[in-house]
Structure 1
């Protein structure tokens, strides 16, 4: 497994676990509450920071634990990365419509922020999934 593929797997893992923990924590407060009173900004920022930090730490651990392999990126890696990023871009472009519509409908900031957060998460996961499939099945 190339170092690029390892980083993609780490990105996918972090992209599932961190938002799932955050959303489970925050959304458990929603039933019966006025969402305007739910303090979500600090936990969301912590979640974003934790995701970035976990991705960096896990990539370093994977690089240190793995066999010494050249950290070269070949044409295949570039093409897989390009395709994955395109997929993430398209998912983000489509998913960003939801927070835009919520803002136009004057929905509460809580829902707009979470729709946008979810759009970023879906884009990152789509990108990682396309890359993993390309690495596993070829392109």
Structure 2
């Protein structure tokens, strides 16, 4: 497994874990009240911040565990990264249409913010999944 593939795994796990943690907090707070009344801003900020920090720590741990591989990237790694980022970008481009439509329809901020967060998470997961599948099966 290459250095970049290990980092892709970290990114996937962190994206899933961060969003799952956020959903657990929000759904836990929503017992008996409408979702739109739940305080979501601070949990969302904390989830994004914690995911960013966990991703950085994960990359540092991988670099420390495999120092000879750290920073080594060949042409295949570059192409896989480019392909995964392209797919992730396309998912994000389509995904932001939902919050845009919600904003135009003047829907509650809760739904707009959560749709944006979900679009970013789906973009990260799709791009990373493409990278991991490509590492395993090739182009």
Distance 1:98 1:31, change over 3 A: farther
Q: Deviation of residue 36 (structure 1)?
A: 4.4
Deviation sequence 1:54-111 (CA, Å, 0-9, x none): 0010111122123633632111011000100010011011111110111111110001
TM-score (norm 1): 0.93
Query: Residue 11 in 1 paired to residue 11 in 2?
Result: yes
Alignment of 1:1-139 (within 5 A): 1-66=1-66, 68-69=68-69, 71-139=71-139
Find the aligned partners of 2:60 and 2:124 in 1 and give their Cα distance.
Answer: 20
Find the aligned partners of 2:33 and 2:123 in 1 and give their Cα distance.
Answer: 29
Report which stretch shifted further, 66-75 or 116-125: 66-75
Find the aligned partners of 2:45 and 2:79 in 1 and give their Cα distance.
Answer: 32
Deviation sequence 1:5-35 (CA, Å, 0-9, x none): 1110000000111111101211333354244
TM-score (norm 2): 0.93
Residue aligned with 2:29, SS: coil
What number of residue pairs does the alignment pair up? Answer: 139
Which stretches in structure 2 are left out of the alignment for 5+ residues? none
Q: Give me the CA root mean square deviation.
A: 1.5
Find the aligned partners of 2:37 and 2:70 in 1 and give their Cα distance.
Answer: 52
